[in-house]
Amino acid sequence: PEWQVPKQGILSLDFVEVTKPLTPDTIVVHPDGHSGPAGKEPVSPLFSPPLSRTAVGNLKQLVEKLGKSVEYDNPEDYKLQVVRDWSNRNLFSCEQLDALLPAFSTEDSRVQFLVIAFARTLDWHGFGNVCLLLTQPEMKKLRGKLGPVALFDEVSAVGYYELDLSIPEQRFVGQELIHLAIDEPGENFVETQYNGIDLSVPMPWSKLLPSKGLITLYYCRASSTIQSTRKHGCLRGSLDYPWSTGGLVPDDHKSNYTVWFWKDVYCSGWGQPPGAEWCKGYRLRRIKQKMLIIAETAEEVFSLLDSDGGGGLE
């Protein structure tokens, strides 16, 4: 809708880049209309300018600059500016994001670092796994800045979802998950709840989700589905998948990155855990994170749960 900018007040917004880096094998459409250098088919306009594999930067120089942050009055702002300048010339890998994230010591700077890296990560199908390193409040902020649709990756859809269906973007993600579950074999929706009540997804939801309510679920995949989506972008392969080239996901966009607390349930090189065994460990981690929001130590958590002060839990 048309909107005339007010003459007073403070406008705060995030202008976010959502394109994905090209691989060296991706075709570039030149201004005069011809494609090259390899010239197979035009590249999707969703891709950014071409970059070589060597553009995944060596971190040594960047880490050295980050180490100088103590010399500045606002070290977090300095570190973000260093990373932003670096990202203008280089790409990151998910392993590098994992290594750099601890360099940022505040909730806002950790979130802003991943906002900067979002469109500058070459093996971007592993970006969602990097996000698992965030706390729940940090993840909420990241979703607010990038949006749930931009963060959703059907190639790496395995994970836990908590969707407010009154928000169109979150409802869209829920609808996409249902479409995937219809097409993919096995039990995909695990521990599904709607407004806190266990639920088997009704068939009418395959066409249209409710416009209100909270749905939570673990989305799971069979190992064969993970391998197929990793190769083609979807279960059976399609030339319509926007991030594939000739029906195949570019190797540079695939990620072998594994977040540390999932290493026991991952299959090497898949980027996602197969089956549903991972759900239990992830549920325990979510509970722990929620406890850390209200208390900093185990003693404080126990004190909050001990409602009668008797030293035990009923």
* Closest of 140, 137, 96 to residue 116, by C-alpha: 96
Q: Tell which wins on pLDDT, 27 or 104.
A: 104
- The pair of structure tokens assigned to 56 is 């995944």
Q: Kindly report, residue by residue over 41-81, the tens digit of the pLDDT.
A: 433 434 444 444 445 656 777 877 888 877 888 889 999 99
Do 79 and 133 share a domain, yes or no? yes
Do 82 and 72 share a domain, yes or no? yes
Q: Lowest-confidence range among 85-99, 115-129, 205-219, 237-251?
A: 237-251
CA distances from 237 to 54, 154, 222, 243 (A): 29, 13, 16, 12
Q: Tell which wins on pLDDT, 249 or 215.
A: 215
Do 66 and 132 share a domain, yes or no? yes
* Residue 243 counted as domain residue: no
Mean pLDDT of 241-269: 79
What percent of the chain shows pLDDT beyond 70?
80
- The pair of structure tokens assigned to 285 is 């981690």
Of the residues 113, 146, 179, which one is the last residue of a structural domain? 146
Q: Kindly report, residue by residue over 229-254, the tens digit of the pLDDT.
A: 988 888 766 666 777 777 888 888 99
Do 95 and 129 share a domain, yes or no? yes
* Residue 74 counted as domain residue: yes
* Residue 63 counted as domain residue: yes
Residue 26 has pLDDT above 70, yes or no: no
Do 282 and 219 share a domain, yes or no? no
d(C-alpha 47, C-alpha 45), whole Å: 5
Q: Which residues of 256-286 are buried (b: 16+ CB within 10 A; e: fewer)?
A: ebbbeebeebbeeebbbbbbbebbeebeeee
φ, ψ of residue 91 to 5 degrees: the values are -105, 160
Do 98 and 191 share a domain, yes or no? no
Q: Kindly report, residue by residue over 145-190, the tens digit of the pLDDT.
A: 999 999 999 999 999 999 999 999 999 999 999 999 999 999 999 9
CA distances from 37 to 173, 235, 247 (A): 36, 30, 19
Do 99 and 140 share a domain, yes or no? yes
Residue 269 has pLDDT above 50, yes or no: yes
pLDDT, position 34: 37
pLDDT, position 304: 74
Ranges of beta strands (E only) in the chain are: 28-29, 35-36, 159-164, 189-194, 197-198, 214-219
d(C-alpha 43, C-alpha 182), whole Å: 30
Please give the model's pTM, rounded to 2 decimal places: 0.80
pLDDT, position 116: 93
Do 87 and 110 share a domain, yes or no? yes
Do 169 and 189 share a domain, yes or no? yes
Do 182 and 262 share a domain, yes or no? yes
CB neighbour list of residue 30: distance below 8 Å, 6 or more residues apart: 36
Do 189 and 295 share a domain, yes or no? no
Do 70 and 126 share a domain, yes or no? yes
Domain, as residue range, for 62: 54-146
User: Burial level of 236, CB count in 10 A (0-12/13-18/19+)?
Assistant: exposed
| Number of residues in the chain | 314
Of the residues 146, 171, 186, which one is the last residue of a structural domain? 146
* Residue 285 counted as domain residue: yes
CB neighbour list of residue 3: distance below 8 Å, 6 or more residues apart: none
Query: How many structural domains comprise the chain?
Result: 3
